[in-house]
């Protein structure tokens, strides 16, 4: 299975038979599966999904790409949480559509890499651990807003 995918300006050929890097040959830290990435994009926010995708890219051996993607998505996520937003029904529909498109893109681009890493002995990362971090961050944000506003 091979195909060309374009995600956030990063175009790559993905082949299921070839290794992407030497880091994929030996099992290292666990990566998040494509379903986990798509689920976080759909149900939480697209920036959380891209943050987890950046962590996967980092763990596969592409350190600077992963750090850059994770840092940018984290900064945008923090900015969207702190900035006041207008809750309109058309804006919510557009946001859900955008989250869905990014979720599909992440699922398709991550699936061959994840399958290859599982075949090479790597384990899947726990899906619930980022959810605990998100809950803790939102709880801290709620406390700050109630104490200082």
Asked whether residue 17 carries a pLDDT value surpassing 60, the answer given is no
The upper half-sphere exposure of residue 70, i.e. CA atoms within 13 Å in the direction of its Cβ, equals 14
Q: Report the percent of the chain where pLDDT is more than 70.
A: 78
How do residues 62-102 score in pLDDT, each as one tens digit?
999 999 999 999 999 888 877 766 566 677 788 889 999 99
Can you read off the two tokens belonging to residue 2? Answer: 């091979």
Asked whether residue 1 carries a pLDDT value surpassing 50, the answer given is no
With 0.85 as the threshold, say if the pTM is over it. Answer: no
């Amino acid at each position: 299975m091979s195909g060309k995918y374009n995600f956030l300006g990063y175009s790559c050929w993905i082949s299921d038979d070839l290794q992407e890097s030497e880091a994929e040959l030996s099992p290292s830290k666990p990566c998040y599966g494509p379903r986990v990435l798509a689920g976080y994009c759909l149900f939480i926010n697209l920036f959380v999904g891209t943050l987890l995708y950046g962590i996967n890219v980092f763990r596969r051996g592409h350190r600077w790409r992963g750090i850059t993607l994770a840092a940018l998505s984290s900064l945008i996520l923090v900015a969207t949480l702190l900035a006041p937003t207008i809750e309109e029904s058309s804006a919510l529909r557009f946001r859900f559509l955008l989250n869905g498109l990014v979720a599909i893109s992440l699922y398709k681009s991550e699936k061959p890499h994840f399958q290859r890493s599982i075949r090479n002995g790597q384990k899947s990362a726990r899906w619930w651990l980022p959810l605990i971090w998100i809950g803790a961050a939102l709880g801290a944000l709620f406390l700050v807003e109630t104490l200082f506003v």
